[in-house]
Structure 1
Amino acid sequence: MTDAMELLRAGAAALQRGDRAGAERRVVRALALVPGHGEGWNILGVLAVSAGDPAGGEARFRRASACAPENPAYARSQAECLKRQGRAERAASLLDGAARRGVLSPDLACDLGDLRLGMRDVASAIALYRLALALAPGHARSQNNMAEALGKAERLDAGADAFARLAVLRGTAAAWGAAGAALLAAWRQDEARAALRRAVALDPSTAEHWANLGFAGLGRHAVVPAEAAFDRALRLAPEMETARAGRGTLRMLAGRLRDGAADYEARLSLPAFAPPRSYGRPLWDGRVRPGRTLLIHADRGHGDAIQFIRYAPLLRAQGMRVVFHGPEGLLDLFRASELLDDLSGLDGPPPAHDVHIPIMSLIHRMGTDLDSVPAAVPYLRAPEAAARRWADRLAGLRGVRAGMVWHGSVAFPYHRQRSPGFEAVRPLTDVPGVTAVLLQVGHGRSDLERVRPLGPVLDIGRELRDFADTAAAIQALDIVISPCTAVAHLAGALGKPVAVLLDQGAEWRWMCGRTDSPWYPTARLYRQSVFGDWTEPVERLRRDLAALNGPLQDEP
């Protein structure tokens, strides 16, 4: 036995020196003397794997586990060999069995979590990472991988918390940068700014950290420091289009539309802004060519299309044909408004055209600045039949008829920040002399199952089939109340008074600190004073509604 142990120690030393042949020779001699020594088979397994033979390594690690079934390292090595052979299911089954036998360690639980994550069993992976962290609270690999798994499960807050714990544990610029990015994805901008400031203090040379710091500042309308962060990112990485698009958004937020819109064109190279289909004709360069046909296509949400379709009649007045390719829900409204020469839905082919442009690029190609925003309203109108139907339907309502929306589309990650929910706007449902007409469709309707209005309301949300219907209903109202949603844009485009409830980090189109909108003359903006708290803007709006003695006039 003493000779065998000496041979094993000599084999391990040879392996450490890189003498693979010497290591194998000594270990084989040791195993001839003591065939049941697990560490000897483990060394042979390591030698096989280093020689590019995972199948041979797996067989030797299996022997090691049989010799010392209580050692989790051998099971982990065997599972790794199976994984390298593309046998992830078998590897997971092996580690499951080891865990059930009590052969458990934080590393084994984490390995099993990684396998489950690779097999897209995210819930099991998260549970295994939690087990690893219960065994070893400071297990950094489990912290990191669990954070990534939570992100894949769209549990953004939990993922951000996990990355933040990992940053405290590691204390590196990379860890703080990852925490900042995760907090930013969870729309926790204040915490993101704190984490990212630590990241850039530790390593000021990483452009991504500076860009994310810019986005975190953008989300709080901290214009000066955010622009400085974007500038720094672009000095370090001039081709970083995310930073350029972010700086463009920031400049438009600050009212510098021309410069901002030019930077914002960088978004077109980013996957999140890729159009749902490709267009074979050239991109429009902004030069007006009478007789040529320009295709405008929707590239983001319905609200963007409603806001920027205002450019179509301006281009037609200069002699261009203008056609549109966009969501079906907008077509009847745009057709009734006679803005376009032709239009079609995204499910079908686009109208024939010579050049094309994403609709949000019109602000740049048209050279718009703050003093040249085309703000004439209304530029949309509902189909006549729908307008008559809804006018008749709502004619009997008493007092000021106020349409209400409280939730935007969940397709965009900031919906939690911008949407107050029905409970927050509930005080607006019992204002004396005001009848609330509920226009909410989609996800926000579930709020009504939990929270009842304070007074009598008319709920027509389930009856609204598309934006033409919604426009017809709005035309029969006196005012519309909405957060930053397509309905707010629609009311403004129809020239109806609209009270827009805005979160503290509202989108660039509403700009900084303004109570009016250069895009919609009939809009009045009610902004949060405290992030996340809708109480004060809702109370201000309630007082303004109560002061109305009759239908609101179409003026800001």
Structure 2
Amino acid sequence: MTNKDAERLFRSGETKFHKGDFLGAQPCYELALTHDPQHVMALCQLGSIRMNRSDFAGAAPYFERALALNPSMAGPHNNYGVVLKELKRFADAAHHYQEAIRLDPKMAEAYSNLAVAQLFVNEFDDARQNLYRAIELRPTYYPAYWNLASLLSLEGRIDEAMQTYDAILRLMPDHADAHSNRALLRLTQGDFENGWAEHEWRFAAHPNQVRPPHAPRWQGEPLPGKTILVRAEQGLGDTFQFVRYLPWLKSLGANVVLECQVGLESILSRAGLADRVMERSPEGNASLPPCDFEIPLLSLPMMAGTNLETIPGATPYLSADPSRAAQWSRVLGRPGEGGLKVGVVWAGSPEHQNDAARSMSLASFAPLLDTPGVTLFSLQKGDAAGQLSQLPAGARVVDLGSRIQDFEDTAAIVENLDLVIAVDTSVAHLAAAMGKPVWLLLALVPDWRWLLERSDTPWYPAMRLFRQTTRNGWSALMRYVAAEAARLTEPARSVEEQLARIESIVAVGDLEEARRRLTEIIRLAPNNVRLLNTLGVVCWNQGETEEALKSFLAALEIDPSHRDTVLNCVEVFLAFGQHPDAEALCRSYLTRDPGDSEVSALLSQITIPAVSNAA
């Protein structure tokens, strides 16, 4: 046989290849190579077939051989770059993309692909320029727009990313992934009205995550006397966050059945948020009771018309099992005993699409290890827990992760801690849903639910957000976290100093920060009357009179003779029109200090004179 036979076999392979019959094309190309081992295009096509099968390691030698024989082919350079990028050889991939561009300066695909390789090595500026160039060369080239939108989102350039998704949807109006990603950006910006509705595209974007329907989708029909199935979706943290909406469904008259992930039935059943909780079964819908409607859990905010002001943010709505909490209390002691006890989680599931950005190493917690009065308790599970073995001898970190069997154990441990410091994981959601103080460590561009720039979150009132200021800037962030933790561990004699700091914060009008600091200190010194009184004053100035009254009354339970608190509490009673309560409080105080002229004068102003019936 001759090279003509090799060419005939190659053309036969091409016919099948271009019909999409890659399986049939492959032996044709292989036979062609047996007769002409230097048949460059057969090598290229065999590389392409393996590349299309995601066999990147198998594809690489074919492109390498082809380009060694003929290095002046732009297309194979581009394809080899794709293969090398998937093999995480980003510098080599960039080299071949650049060769493709040198050979064909108008190849939009190569510019777009080069940008992706640059993105992986954090060369964001160059990547952005190459994507703009790809779009300039081919204004309808969708992958370049997609890569640009992804890059802009990673940079936190949300408005520009939104505009890029708009451009994609002008080209492809029903592009589910673009709709789904644009929805998340809208939610990040707090545009819940449009964000929740567009978030419904997530099912079209990820059809493999859609389970067969068990009942008609609820579209807002009347629910009295009806049974509705709520199906958990996405991650465990999502479930902990959004089960808060189940009481709303019950308030509409529904019998609520929650289908949750394996391992959550016990803790969610105890919460009483649904009438029945069932873990997802391998049997699928066959294990479910008859239902009139069903709805995905994360569609409930849309159905409830949730905006930033109407998030049902009250906590706690989850709790630890009392018997398990008592068992762990014997191991850990109660919160506030023996210094600051902090539960830590530094890594989430490696399967999460954004895990590289949201997770850190335990080594980044080093500043906390050196903070006096702080003991860290590892709640970390999975491979990342292995980093504990790398800590120096004597490090104040207690490994509890190896003793945690389920979320009931996690909740019981959290119940006995003072604080949880964690990256964005299910443990953080669980602790916050229990009302435990949580310091959440966030990447420069975090998940949509944490919004932008805020240090608080309407989802969890006891949670504080610590945000990176630079990409991968965990070290600087953890130094700040350690400094804040040190402030919490200052001895009782420094309460005056802490109050002085807080008063200076109030003086500049930052009431939210003042309230946050007071809340944290009070958790460590719950019987300090001055702290409780100051918290009441801050709440009063925020217009939250009920919270102010609650704080004043808590202070008076500890010290009924604290004069400033008495005066403040009287003022709140009068604001509520509770004159008898104000009068009773003044009289009670005067029994202890009858010579207080200011309180006496106040009493004379609020005492209701008796009505005379004399003629």
The TM-score bracket by the shorter chain reads 0.7 to 0.9
Amino acid at match of 1:337: A
Give me the CA root mean square deviation: 3.4
Deviation at 1:205, TM superposition (A): 3.4
Residue 423 (structure 2) pairs with residue 483 (structure 1): yes
- After superposition, the C-alpha distances for 1:89-136 in whole angstroms (9 at most, x for unaligned) are 75576577679xxx4465454344345557775423223333444555
Secondary structure, counterpart of 2:422 in structure 1: strand
1:344 shift after superposition? 1.6
Q: Does 1:309 align with 2:243?
A: yes
User: CA shift at 1:276, angstroms?
Assistant: 5.0
- 2:198 is the counterpart of 1:260: no
Q: Does structure 1 residue 446 correspond to structure 2 residue 386?
A: yes
1:375 matched to 2:309: no
Q: TM-score, normalised by structure 1?
A: 0.77
Distance 1:385 1:156 in 2: 53
The one-letter code matched in structure 2 to 1:465 is Q
- The answer to which of 207-216 and 455-464 deviates more is 207-216
C-alpha offsets along residues 276-335 of structure 1, whole Å, 9 cap, x if unaligned? Answer: 521131112145522222211122111111111110122213322211112112222111
Q: Over residues 173-194 of structure 1, what are the superposed CA-to-partner deviations in whole Å (9 max), with x where a residue is unaligned?
A: 3333444567678998666533
Query: Any conservation in 2 of the 1:92–1:116 contact (CA below 8 Å)?
Result: no
Q: Distance in 2 between the 1:116 and 1:230 partners?
A: 31
Q: What is the one-letter code of the residue matched to 1:363? A: P
Which shifted more, 231-240 or 132-141? 132-141
Asked if structure 2 preserves the Cα contact closer than 8 Å seen for 1:409 and 1:443, the reply is no
Q: Spell out the pairing of 1:140-179 with structure 2 (5 A cutoff).
A: 140-150=74-84, 155=88, 157=90, 161=94, 164-165=97-98, 168-169=101-102, 170-171=104-105, 172-179=107-114
The change in CA–CA distance for 1:534 and 1:142 in structure 2 (over 3 A counts) is same
Deviation of the 1:268 alpha carbon: 1.8
Matches within 5 A, 1:114-129: 114=48, 116-117=50-51, 121-129=55-63
- Equivalent in 400, 412, 423 of residue 340 of structure 2: 400
Question: Hey, what does 1:356 align to over in structure 2?
Answer: 294
Report if aligned partners of 2:428, 2:438 keep a CA contact under 8 Å in 1: yes
In the aligned structure 2, how far is the partner of 1:513 from the partner of 1:159? 37
Give the corresponding residue for 1:4: none
Matches within 5 A, 1:450-465: 450-452=390-392, 455-465=395-405
Supply the distance in 2 between the matched residues of 1:166 and 1:334 (Cα, whole angstroms): 57
Counterpart amino acid of residue 113 in structure 1: G
Q: Distance in 1 between matches of 2:96 and 2:348?
A: 29
1:308 is paired with a residue whose SS is: helix
Native 8 Å contact 2:344 2:377 kept in 1: yes
> What percentage of aligned pairs have identical amino acids?
32
Give 5+ residue unaligned stretches, structure 1. Answer: 1-35, 47-56, 59-75
Could you tell me which residue of structure 1 aligns to residue 270 of structure 2? 336
Report the CA distance between 1:408 and its aligned residue. Answer: 0.8
What is the identity, as a one-letter code, of the residue corresponding to 2:273? L
Q: 1:165 to 1:362 in 2, by over 3 A?
A: farther
Secondary structure of 1:310 counterpart: helix
CA distance in 2, matches of 1:254, 1:119: 39
Answering whether residue 353 of structure 2 is matched by residue 413 of structure 1, we say: yes
Cα distance change of structure 1 residues 384 and 137 upon mapping to structure 2, 3 Å threshold:
farther
**Contact 1:407–1:440 (CA under 8 A) maintained in structure 2:** yes
Contact 1:187 1:417 in 2 (8 A): no
- Contact conserved, 2:81 with 2:97, CA < 8 A, in 1? no
For the 8 Å contact 2:180–2:201, the answer to whether it is kept is: yes
What secondary structure is seen at the aligned counterpart in 2 of 1:282?
coil
Counterpart contact for 2:118–2:127, Cα < 8 Å: yes
Q: Where in structure 2 are there 5+ consecutive unaligned residues?
A: 491-519, 524-534, 540-615
Q: Which deviates the most, 120-129 or 480-489? A: 120-129
- Give runs of aligned pairs for residues 2-21 of structure 1, distance below 5 A: none
For residue 499 of structure 1, the aligned residue among 432, 439, 455 is 439
For 2:488, what is the secondary structure of its paired residue? coil
TM-score (norm 2): 0.70
Matched residues in 1 for 2:470 and 2:392: separation? 26
SS, match of residue 250 in structure 2 = helix
Q: Who is 1:202 aligned against?
A: 137
Relative to structure 1, is the Cα distance of residues 211 and 104 closer, same or farther in structure 2, using a 3 angstrom cutoff? closer
Q: Which moved more, 1:123-132 or 1:291-300?
A: 123-132
Match of 2:586 in 1: none
Name the CA distance, whole Å, in 2 between partners of 1:138 and 1:431: 60
Cα shift at 1:445:
1.6
Equivalent runs, 1:120-139 vs 2, <5 Å: 121-139=55-73
Deviation at 1:525, TM superposition (A): 1.1
Any idea what SS the aligned residue of 1:370 has?
coil
1:253 partner amino acid: T
CA shift, 1:340, in A, is 1.3
